[in-house]
């Protein structure tokens, strides 16, 4: 790479309203090792090293106090493929966390960029979400919610790229963010109110029974529910007293009333004072305890008999409640009442919908601009219920019956949150093919490991179609034996 191009002097900064650039650095990086993470939307990158130019822009925005950093990794001018691929973050972080992915992306000749949205410590929102009086900093929430994404794009375009593609999880790119975090609080609140914290192995035993009851409905006994909406309702209370097969000693460990209660309130999701559902919940088959995947909304500290039991919420749930809901970072979560929960849930909803709810189903501007969008959601996502995305897509369908011409949504059986078993790693390639070559994605391949440990090639289908097994074809490990119906 010619060093003279990778220098601050070679970069002409655009004039942008509200932005004051404090510093630009441009550093040639040689021999950067490409890590090998499982990459959402993308296959594993080739091993090796990559050379690039790291341009880091530090600036302020008139609306907020924090300094913002946008980081851009550029391939050489000769190898750039005229495309920019943005990288997001996860949790509260908008970006500058996934350098592993950026290395792989730049090695494939894309330019890539990411922003921290001014969050010096994204996982400690006390440092940025509250103002000096301890109240929610509305301007910061707005910047975090979407302005930061626009700034990232505007501040680094030095030549019109052919395509700008965003991938990964941009922090607030989540439908109904407030309720998602509150839904992590719900099962834990219910356990606190009941004073009961069942063993994780009991919950997992009930999950296994629920899966076994519906497994064959899709024509394949593989421990995976392809269409949870086709399942008969499962009443966990009928299993109280049954052996807890997932516990170390099922003969002496029986499924308790508390376990049935907890799994029931979790599957039902948040309900109002009259017991009517008001938010979505995880599908049966989802890891609720974190024993399998490390993240579960109904996790307790005890996996099995003999361990001390207490609630173990996903940390961002209580943090959301305390900082964004109550504006009391020190509020003792264990003392939360049902009334306080409902109050926060309702009072803060419209505020966060305004800046991070992503509830607008009118995609006509995107459609008119010629955009294409692919979304997928794991049907056993532990943290964000898949029904949420289905609900959003249905709203878009209602708004525009031709939505599948530019936006397709794929529900993925056996997949948890973003990555893991059954993760569709070709969605980025499929999206490029759709945008650049007009090849419409009528299905996407996935590989999934079934409950017997066998690897299966399958397909996932654009909603509302689902993948259906063709018994006359016979081989449920062969993607060709499935069709979208
Ligand atoms: Ca099945």
200 and 103 both lie in a single domain: no
Alpha helices by DSSP H, 275-331: 316-319
In the structure encoding, which two tokens stand for residue 105, read together? 């992306």
Centroid of ligand 1 to alpha carbon of 221 (angstroms)? 5
- How many whole angstroms from 450 Cα to the centroid of ligand 1? 9
In a domain, 2, yes or no: yes
Is residue 466, in this structure, part of any structural domain at all? no
**Dihedral in degrees, nearest 10, Cα atoms 265, 211, 410, 392:** -20
- As for how many domains the chain has, the answer is 2
Judge if 16 and 66 occupy the same domain.
yes
What is the Å distance from ligand 1's center to 465 Cα? 17
162 lies in some domain = no
Tell me, yes or no, whether 338 and 300 share the same domain: yes
399 and 271 inside one domain: yes
Give 422 Cα–ligand 1 centroid separation in angstroms: 13
Q: From ligand 1's centre to the CA of 214, what distance in Å?
A: 7
What is residue 164's predicted lDDT score, i.e. its pLDDT? 52
pLDDT digits (tens, 9 = 90+) for 280-318: 999 999 999 999 999 999 999 999 999 999 999 999 999
Task: Decide which of 386, 409, 431 is a domain's last residue.
Answer: 431
- Kindly give the distance from the C-alpha atom of residue 379 to the centroid of ligand 1, in angstroms, as a whole number: 13
Q: What is the DSSP letter of 382?
A: S
CA–centroid distance, 227 to ligand 1, in Å, is 9
Q: Of 415, 431, 447, which one is at a domain's C-terminal end?
A: 431
Q: Compute, in angstroms, the gap from residue 371 CA to the centroid of ligand 1.
A: 35
226: CA distance to ligand 1 center in Å? Answer: 6
279: Cβ contacts below 8 Å, ≥ 6 apart = 176, 179, 182, 183, 269, 270, 385
- Residue bearing tokens 């301007």: 139
134 and 178 fall within a common domain: no
Distance from the alpha carbon of residue 274 to the mean position of ligand 1, in angstroms: 35
Q: Do both 112 and 193 map to the same domain? A: no
Cα–Cα distance measured from residue 10 to residue 49, given in angstroms and rounded to the nearest whole number: 25
Residue 381: inside a domain:
yes
Write down the H helix ranges in 57-199: 99-107, 138-142, 148-156, 177-194
Structure tokens at 247: 């516990």
Q: Check whether residue 261 and residue 362 sit in a common domain.
A: yes
Give the pLDDT of residue 172. 40
Do 124 and 31 fall into the same domain? yes
Q: Could you tell me if 206 and 258 lie in one domain?
A: yes
What per-residue string of b and e applies to 376-408 under the rule 16 or more CB within 10 Å gives b? bbbbbbbbbbbbbbbebbbebbeebeebbebbb
Model pLDDT, residue 150:
82
State residue 342's pLDDT score.
98
pLDDT number for residue 171: 37
Tell me the residue range of the domain where 293 lies: 170-431
The Cα angle at residue 403 between residues 95 and 433, in degrees rounded to 5: 60
Q: In this structure, is residue 461 part of a structural domain?
A: no
Euclidean distance between CA atoms 444 and 450, whole angstroms: 18
- Residues in the chain, pLDDT under 50: 1-2, 158-161, 167-173
Q: Is residue 442 in some structural domain?
A: no
User: What is the SS3 assignment for 386?
Assistant: helix
116, 149, 182 - which closes a domain: 149
Measure 443 CA to ligand 1 centroid, in angstroms: 19
Q: pTM here?
A: 0.93
Distance from Cα 396 to the centre of ligand 1, integer Å: 29
Q: Is the residue at 484 inside a domain?
A: no
How many contiguous H segments (helices) and E segments (strands) does the chain have? Answer: 12, 12
CA of 457 to the centre of ligand 1 (A): 14
Q: What pLDDT shows up at residue 36?
A: 74
Query: How far apart are the CA of 474 and the centre of ligand 1, in A?
Result: 14
State in Å: Cα 365 to ligand 1 middle. 40
Ligand 1 centroid, distance to 220 Cα (angstroms) = 4
Radius of gyration of the chain (CA): 24
Q: What is the pLDDT of residue 91?
A: 87
């Amino acid at each position: 790479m010619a060093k003279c191009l990778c220098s601050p002097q070679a970069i002409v900064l655009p004039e942008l309203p509200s932005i004051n650039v404090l510093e630009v650095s441009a550093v040639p990086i040689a021999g950067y090792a490409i890590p090998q993470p499982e990459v959402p939307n993308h296959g594993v990158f080739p091993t090796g090293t990559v050379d690039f130019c790291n341009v880091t822009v530090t600036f302020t925005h008139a609306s907020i106090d924090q300094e913002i950093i946008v980081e851009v990794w550029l391939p050489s001018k000769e190898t750039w493929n005229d495309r920019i691929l943005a990288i997001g973050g996860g949790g509260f972080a908008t970006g500058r966390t996934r350098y592993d992915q950026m290395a792989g992306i730049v090695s494939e000749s894309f330019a890539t960029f990411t922003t921290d949205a001014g969050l010096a410590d994204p996982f400690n929102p006390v440092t940025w979400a509250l103002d000096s009086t301890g109240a929610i900093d509305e301007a910061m929430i707005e910047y975090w919610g979407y302005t930061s994404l626009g700034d990232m794009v505007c501040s680094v375009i030095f030549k019109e790229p052919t395509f700008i593609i965003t991938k990964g999880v941009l922090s607030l790119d989540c439908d109904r963010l407030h309720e998602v975090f509150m839904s992590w609080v719900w099962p834990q609140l219910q356990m606190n109110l009941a004073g009961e914290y069942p063993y994780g192995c009991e919950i997992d035993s009930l999950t296994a029974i629920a899966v076994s009851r519906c497994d064959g409905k899709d024509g394949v006994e593989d421990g995976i529910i392809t269409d949870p909406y086709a399942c008969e309702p499962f009443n966990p209370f009928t299993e109280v007293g049954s052996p807890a097969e997932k516990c170390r000693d099922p003969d002496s460990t029986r499924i308790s009333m508390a376990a049935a209660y907890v799994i029931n309130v979790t599957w039902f999701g948040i309900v109002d004072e009259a017991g009517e559902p008001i938010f979505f919940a995880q599908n049966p088959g989802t890891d609720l305890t974190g024993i399998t995947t490390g993240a579960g909304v109904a996790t307790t500290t005890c996996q099995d008999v003999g361990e001390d039991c207490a609630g173990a919420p996903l940390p961002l749930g209580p943090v959301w409640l305390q900082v964004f809901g109550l504006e009391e970072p020190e509020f003792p979560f264990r003392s939360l009442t049902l009334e306080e929960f409902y109050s926060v849930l309702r009072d803060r909803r419209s505020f966060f919908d305004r800046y991070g709810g992503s509830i607008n189903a009118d995609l006509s501007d995107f459609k008119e601009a010629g955009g294409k969008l692919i979304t997928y959601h794991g049907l056993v996502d532990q943290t964000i219920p898949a029904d949420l995305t289905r609900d959003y897509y249905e709203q878009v369908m209602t708004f525009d019956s031709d939505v599948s011409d530019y936006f397709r949504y794929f529900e993925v059986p056996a997949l948890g949150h973003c990555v893991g078993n059954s993760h569709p790693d070709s969605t980025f390639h499929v999206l490029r093919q759709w945008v650049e070559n007009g090849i419409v994605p009528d299905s996407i391949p996935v590989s999934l490991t079934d409950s017997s440990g066998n690897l299966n090639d399958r397909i996932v289908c654009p909603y509302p179609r689902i993948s259906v097994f063709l018994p006359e074809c016979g081989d449920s490990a062969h993607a060709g034996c499935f069709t979208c119906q």
